[in-house]
Chain A
């Protein structure tokens, strides 16, 4: 483990911003900390960088405890959210600042700057000041300025937040390429789930100062550990009900309020007991919108009314109203002869039973 935290707590006088965070990051990993704003992600990153000291718990970097070690003595460097480039220095002077402060000899500094300028494709921009660089160029300089010091861990605070949507997508691929090329452990804080899913080897979801789930993107996306994670990660649909076990491998979720019962995925049955409260979670891209209800055993479905239809290029986005004021969302791929429904149509929202996911309350 290149970085470990054990029961780290931090508060600024009020309720804790970071609570009992225990985390282990492997060497060479692209690790993301994902969560809504105000979840304590940035504070956690500042604790790792050394700008803040934890109230309790410890942080180990390469096995060494970091209590009381200032940022300048830690084998980590940070890419700040607003990049924090020095405005009076050229791109090259910015990149060379760390090596200069470390007192590296001139040749070594030059070699490292050349190397990073090559990796980040900065040739031609080296003598420009930050004000003369675009947002994406500034970001590349900021990454180079941190990587040039060859840290054990690179910390990135919302690296894409200041970029527009198109640049964000190309920089996501670029960031992955850079990380693979330099082989340094990246820890990236973000509230942008698509970015975290695309980039990370593993990710942690943070909510109200706690880590609520850690795993690979597939694990976290496909098997969210809680409603909060499910809500945050995907446009997931929820349905709360009561578990009713019918046979050894059959069960259903009863929703008395809607006078409805839907089949429970068989893999979830082992974790559930009869009469338990549970929530069905279903990702919006797995919902089938059609005229007929479920026609085979392996399917489930509920009657809905089309409330809103949006065209989103690659797919249609439906807002569906269930009885009792519950709304679902369905993303239906724009192809395969999909017939478009209109607002007010009475249809069925169906899904393969095993695509649903049951979370005990």
Chain B
């Protein structure tokens, strides 16, 4: 094993990882970027010329709708994950150590199961003769089965379910750093529960909230499996469009242009994250 801290070896280790990074990330990205300026030929071949036609094609209302729908869906998923995840993370952070590890396991265990399998489970729950409808009818709440599956709602539920841990974990980590005495001080100074959350806990956990939001937003924006399985053809998102362009239509140049746009959206989200957290100075928030 090389010790990367020793001076001579460090340069080689550094060069190695740089090389690896270039090969594994930089090169494929450059190829995608190059293809995005090329043109599609018959049978899906690529003609290497330079044109902005693919990017112009992306302005087609159909594609714009899909980009818009993806962003709106990702934003909705992020919002719901925050609303559900924050109170959950709070309860976790304020439980006794034993309960904390129990809750942590409950959050992590689903991540060990295959995502595909877990999404299929939702099909069984949501379909017309599925668990949810059977249960609602037995309770006498509805007379007719409701169509959940293959609607945007099913996608929303599936994505919230899938990415909730990515919100809970960073928010929990932030909340755990907030000294409980601060909450007592706020209560002693006449703060209501609402004030406690809005004026104390939320400002003190901004780094965790933003980290969780970025994780959930980015993951939702590029999601492919969930909209594909739970949304059907009517709820196409960017991930599905990419798959469609590359594998079905075999229009690699258009698909590449689309990938670049998706990448830029993600980078904007990450840049916003960097800006907010560095302006706030995370250290200042602790204790």
Which segment, of B8-16, B60-68, B181-189, B235-243, faces chain A?
A: B181-189
With A87-B284, A88-B204, A88-B285 already in contact, the answer to whether A80 and B181 are too (CB < 8 A) is yes
Answer yes or no: A37 CB below 8 A from chain B CBs.
Answer: no
Interface size on B, residues (CB 8 A): 21
Q: Choose among B188, B191, B204, B284 the residue that contacts A129 (Cβ–Cβ < 8 A).
A: B284
**Residues in A229-271 with C-beta less than 8 Å from chain B:** none
Answer yes or no: A70 CB below 8 A from chain B CBs.
Answer: yes
CA distance A84 to B179 in the complex (A): 8
With A72-B190, A72-B191, A102-B190 already in contact, the answer to whether A88 and B284 are too (CB < 8 A) is yes
Q: Choose among A80, A101, A146 the residue that contacts B191 (Cβ–Cβ < 8 A).
A: A101
Question: Distance in Å from the Cβ of B25 to the closest Cβ of chain A?
Answer: 37
Answer yes or no: A221 CB below 8 A from chain B CBs.
Answer: no
CA distance A145 to B204 in the complex (A): 19
Question: Distance in Å from the Cβ of B97 to the closest Cβ of chain A?
Answer: 16
Are B284's CB and A86's CB within 8 A? Answer: no
CA distance A78 to B186 in the complex (A): 11
Answer yes or no: A200 CB below 8 A from chain B CBs.
Answer: no
Are A82's CB and B190's CB within 8 A? Answer: no
**Residues in A55-105 with C-beta less than 8 Å from chain B:** 70-72, 77-78, 80, 82, 84-88, 97-98, 101-102
Answer yes or no: A53 CB below 8 A from chain B CBs.
Answer: no
Interface centre among B184, B188, B286 (most CB of A within 10 A): B188
Are B189's CB and A98's CB within 8 A? Answer: yes
Question: Distance in Å from the Cβ of B204 to the closest Cβ of chain A?
Answer: 6
Answer yes or no: B33 CB below 8 A from chain A CBs.
Answer: no
Answer yes or no: B173 CB below 8 A from chain A CBs.
Answer: no
| A contact residues around B284 at 8 Å (CB) | 87-88, 129, 131
| A contact residues around B181 at 8 Å (CB) | 80, 82, 84
Answer yes or no: A311 CB below 8 A from chain B CBs.
Answer: no
Are A71's CB and B286's CB within 8 A? Answer: no
Answer yes or no: A49 CB below 8 A from chain B CBs.
Answer: yes
Are B285's CB and A80's CB within 8 A? Answer: no
| A contact residues around B191 at 8 Å (CB) | 72, 97, 101
Are B190's CB and A98's CB within 8 A? Answer: yes
What residue of chain A has the Cβ atom nearest to residue B185's Cβ?
A84
Q: Chain A interface (Cβ within 8 Å of chain B)?
A: 49, 51, 70-72, 77-78, 80, 82, 84-88, 97-98, 101-102, 129, 131, 145-146, 149
Contacts A78-B184, A80-B185, A86-B185 known; list 8 others, CB within 8 Å: A72-B187, A80-B181, A88-B204, A97-B189, A102-B190, A131-B284, A149-B189, A149-B190
* 11 residue pairs bridging A and B, Cβ less than 8 Å apart: A51-B184, A70-B187, A84-B179, A84-B181, A84-B182, A84-B184, A87-B284, A87-B285, A101-B192, A131-B284, A146-B188
A-B pairs, 6 with minimum CB distance: A101-B190, A98-B189, A84-B185, A84-B181, A72-B190, A88-B203
